[in-house]
Structure 1
């Protein structure tokens, strides 16, 4: 599989709190922080590409009215304006209108909260993921952790769902059914990681030094896959498909066991930032 090296920055836009025991077997009952992680991938020709966006101030606006207010009550969110994806990129010298591509792992509010801040971006995702939420309103949307008002009004016009015929051969032994070449150049490969949400994907990218799997919410922490500690059964209540989640969890375990050199990055875990990042850049 041809790979084009990229640069990778791991960032977060706000965080939510939950009891750890829901996210990992044997976890603490104490409230824990779960950062709303996103990534900025530096492509040599396409420029900055975002993988998700984390929260934005619009989360608070969209959850003021019932029934969307239920989302904020169940999931306490903490966010400051300077933490938005657009604000953080600006500090790095990247204007919001310079971002031409955003890849979405899935359509939960903590992953797409900042989409409206990027007026020139094309949105890339698995069609199944959008189909699962696009008609949901009210309680049905809240049940899917989806806030329709976070999507730009021209979202569909600016969308380019993955070409599911554009598959690539993954390295022998990789435990994924397929790889989708997002931009057709081998730089960013999407792999299926459903269960937490319908159509959820992760991204395989390579820097000059290491291979990474940005695994979104297939697990909530690195120690979960490393120590084989899946979420508490109650977490199944917020999953789209429990059996698919278990299968995705198993695949992450296999990748870690067979290819420990691949750096797995869950969206809500701080460990990768302390282990893999130097001066803001993933090595």
Structure 2
């Protein structure tokens, strides 16, 4: 297996800002930007796969729901930050995207999907059940999803997970060992992460909010804990990342600073 995954590109599609001392106990005041990371993966045979789609400019409208969201997560976003503009600048047409993986359905991951029509959308079975239930805590803003969302879905379920990577079950997207999808709960049910064996690279979505914040997990305050779907599961996900890092796996989370992500991808 060599160069099946020809390239992985990163795009920053807006960000929210929060105060470190509001998230973790016993840390100094420091504002931190949490970028909405989007990844474009090019498979040698199957072409472009988009992993997440970033924020949507419509989130800046002053509806009650959006205002509550922005109060907790002040969002900075310009129209040119959205994924369709990034792809245009890169010379890639929307119709060149063959599949879209949504790691989970929070607003900073689904915002740009409206610019891609008639494309297969991949989510995990647990994520679909959460979408179907759609409780307030799920933070799923369905208005950002296309009207034909359910018709376009490819749902990954437990029956078709088989590849065992470092003790973790995974789904082999193209049946060639190059692109493995792994479900990790905690932040969101059925959160879909991606592992690329030939690059020894793990894209961990929001398993944590930044690799530099990994060791602060136990210091997380009450409100940020409540934002997680299940904090006990969140801590298990963090331990999974620690174990992968100990084995030398390169790890990126979606909200890492752009300079860190680009540095890892360039290694």
What is the distance in 2 between the residues matched to 1:68 and 1:160? 29
Deviation at 1:4, TM superposition (A): 3.6
Residue 190 of structure 1 corresponds to: 181
Deviation at 1:254, TM superposition (A): 0.9
SS state of the match for residue 108, structure 2?
helix
Residue 251 of structure 2 corresponds to: 264
What is the distance in 2 between the residues matched to 1:16 and 1:133? 23
What is the distance in 2 between the residues matched to 1:84 and 1:215? 21
What is the TM-score with the length of structure 2 in the denominator?
A: 0.90
What is the TM-score with the length of structure 1 in the denominator?
A: 0.85
SS state of the match for residue 9, structure 2?
strand
2:207 equivalent among 186, 206, 218 = 218
Deviation at 1:169, TM superposition (A): 2.9
Distance change in 2, residues 1:276/1:25 (3 Å): farther
Deviation at 1:232, TM superposition (A): 0.9
1:87 matches 2:85: yes
Distance change in 2, residues 1:195/1:91 (3 Å): same
Q: Is the 8 A contact 1:4 1:187 kept in 2?
A: yes
Deviation at 1:23, TM superposition (A): 5.0
The gaps in structure 2 that reach 5 residues or longer are none
Deviation at 1:42, TM superposition (A): 0.7
Q: Is the 8 A contact 1:38 1:267 kept in 2?
A: yes
Q: Which range moved further: 185-194 or 108-117?
A: 185-194
Q: Is the 8 A contact 1:89 1:95 kept in 2?
A: yes
SS state of the match for residue 159, structure 2?
coil
Q: Is the 8 A contact 2:206 2:254 kept in 1?
A: yes
1:75 equivalent among 64, 73, 76 = 73
1:244 matches 2:233: yes
1:168 matches 2:166: no
1:229 matches 2:216: yes
Distance change in 2, residues 1:38/1:66 (3 Å): same
Residue 273 of structure 1 corresponds to: 261
Residue 54 of structure 2 corresponds to: 54
Aligned pair count? 264
**Greater relative contact order (CA < 8 Å, ≥ 6 in sequence):** 1
Deviations 1:223-255 (A, max 9, x none): 233xx3215132211011111111111111111
Deviations 1:243-268 (A, max 9, x none): 111111111111111x12x2100100
RMSD of Structure 2 on Structure 1 (CA):
2.2
What is the distance in 2 between the residues matched to 1:179 and 1:144? 24
What is the distance in 1 between the residues matched to 2:24 and 2:5? 33
Deviation at 1:273, TM superposition (A): 2.6
Deviation at 1:205, TM superposition (A): 1.5
Q: Is the 8 A contact 2:5 2:42 kept in 1?
A: no
The gaps in structure 1 that reach 5 residues or longer are none
